[in-house]
Every structure is written in structure tokens, then in C-alpha cells.
Amino acid sequence: MRHIDPLSISDAVRTAVQKINTDIDPLILKAFKAGQSKGDEIESQVLDILIKNADIAHEQHLPLCQDTGLVVIFASVGIGVSLSEPLEASIQRGVAQGYIEGYLRKSVVRDPLYDRKNTGDNTPALVYIDLVEGDQMTLHIMAKGGGSENASALNMFTPSDQEEAIITWVVDRIRQKGRNTCPPLIIGLGIGGNFETCALLAKKSLGRPIGQRNGNRSYAELELKIMQALNDLNIGAGGYGGHMTVMDVFIETAPCHIASLPVALNIGCHSTRHATVTL
């Protein structure tokens, strides 16, 4: 067994949550710059502000967005790893330290309905743990904003529905809500599994690098079809019109029940923040 020190786990989380909040994903910055040369005057102006925003955030260690997110962590833990405290405890400690020392906004309330008091340290983060081969631990760390999350949706299609039904549903949702969710967006679609699995697939897909297609040719084509349909909506970067409504569409799939075709749509904003740390 290989022991991983709990302090090294919390330190890794503490550092990562700060870095992803101040340093934009380089592929997103590249997409802004590419979009700027194609956009009309208003969209170019918006993209110019977003590029300057990324520069200021990096240089002055300010968060890209005041909504510094609810932290979601997918932990893949090797079966050869030994720990001296529950993994969840190490992670939560790192999140609290990172949000306090990084001057990040605390955006978590302790009760959803009756007692919405801020917990004060952005915990609890949401942690999903998978056991895998090996003696290492990989943490996929996200800081997910509330605006784009609020516009996300889940629909239980049935097997008689074809891809057109899914495209229409996604396009309608983005037409209605896209302007609220800080475009240009990253669209995560989880197809298959069941009610909760499709949502997790959609969430995980947001961590994929921009430009990387699904390994299955049919789904890769569907990603591109949906991207085209969404960019035809003329929502644009910032939501004031333009060709750059989404930067990419990612589909992840899983086997499902013979009666079902669950689909979840998770929306990532133009600061979609994620990092992968291996310990």
C-alpha cells in the first residue's frame, strides 16, 4: 500500500481551487481570441473585455468571476492507496483553506430552503469517489458557478425519441436561458445511465479539453451538429448577439435501461474552471 499524507491532499486542493479561479483555461482564452477576429463590433467588444478580464485576474490574483463557484471533485482513488483520515475530510479542509486565503467568495448556504445561512468557508464541496487500479489518486477539481448551473436541465426521453428530439430540447433550453449563463458556453450532455448518472456524466464532460471530440463517431458528429445549431441562435459572447454562443459541446454516454433515454444538460460558463491533480 502507498500512503498519501492527508495534508498533501488538502494542500493540493487548496492550491488548485485558487489557481482555477484566477487563471483562465488557456483553451478558453484561445477560443476568445479566435472568436474576436470573426465577431461583429459588439461581440468583439465583449470578447475584448473578457480577454482583459483574464489578464487582470491572472496578474492581480483576482478571481475571473465574483461567483467563485461550488467546488465539485471527482476523486479516482487507486486500490493500493492508504489514507489516515477519510478523503472527504482532507478535501473539505483544502477547500475551506483555499477559499479563505485566496479571497474567493463563499457561495454555499447550509440549508437550501429554510435556513440559507452562508457556511462561511465555501464548504461543503461535493465529492464523488471512484476506486480504480493502481496506487495513485487523481482529483478532478471544478468550481461551478451558480448562474450556468441554474439553467441546466434533465429530461427523461424515451427510446422512440431520435437525435432530433435531443437537439431540439437543447436548442430550446439555450434559446430561453443562454443569455443568463455567461456565454460563450461549454455544453455538457450526459446521455444514458439513469436519472442521476446522466447528470454526473454531463458534469464530468465539462472537464474535457475544448476541441476534443467523443471517441464514438456518431456522438462526435452529434456534438458538432448541436454546436452549429446553438451558434446559429445569435446569442453571442456576452449574450448581446453574435456567432459565438458556445465554445464546444461535449457528450458522454452510458448504457441504460430498455425503457429509458435519460439526457442531462449541464451548462458551463465562459470561465468553466477545472484542474486535474495526481498524487
Partner 1 sequence: MRKLVLPPTETDLNELHKGDFVLLSGTLYSARDAAHARLVALISDGKPLPILIDGQAIYYMGPSPAPPDQIAGSAGPTTSSRMDKYTPLLLEKGLKVMLGKGARSEEVAQAIAAHKAVYLGSIGGAGAYLGKCITSIRCVAFEDLGPEAIYELTVIDLPAFVL
> Which positions touch partner 1 (CB under 8 A)?
42, 45-46, 49-50, 52-54, 56-57, 60-68, 103-107, 116, 118, 120, 145-147, 150, 179-182, 238-240, 269-271
> Which of residues 78 and 239 has its CB atom nearest to partner 1 in the complex?
239
Distance, CA of 142 to CA of 18 (rounded, Å): 11
> Which of residues 108 and 139 has its CB atom nearest to partner 1 in the complex?
108
For the four alpha carbons of 10, 12, 15 and 17, in that order, the dihedral sign comes to: negative
Which position has the grid cell 448581446? 240
Q: Could you tell me the smallest distance in angstroms from the CB atom of residue 274 to partner 1?
A: 15
Residue 170's nearest CA partner among 150, 156, 152, 183 is 152
Q: Could you tell me the smallest distance in angstroms from the CB atom of residue 219 to partner 1?
A: 28
> Which of residues 187 and 251 has its CB atom nearest to partner 1 in the complex?
187
Distance, CA of 187 to CA of 259 (rounded, Å): 26
Distance, CA of 148 to CA of 255 (rounded, Å): 27
> Which of residues 80 and 146 has its CB atom nearest to partner 1 in the complex?
146
- Cα torsion through 89, 203, 110, 66, rounded to 10: 100
> Which of residues 118 and 234 has its CB atom nearest to partner 1 in the complex?
118
Q: Could you tell me the smallest distance in angstroms from the CB atom of residue 182 to partner 1?
A: 4
Q: Could you tell me the smallest distance in angstroms from the CB atom of residue 202 to partner 1?
A: 20
Q: Could you tell me the smallest distance in angstroms from the CB atom of residue 82 to partner 1?
A: 37
Distance, CA of 172 to CA of 240 (rounded, Å): 18
Residue 98's nearest CA partner among 217, 191, 15 is 15
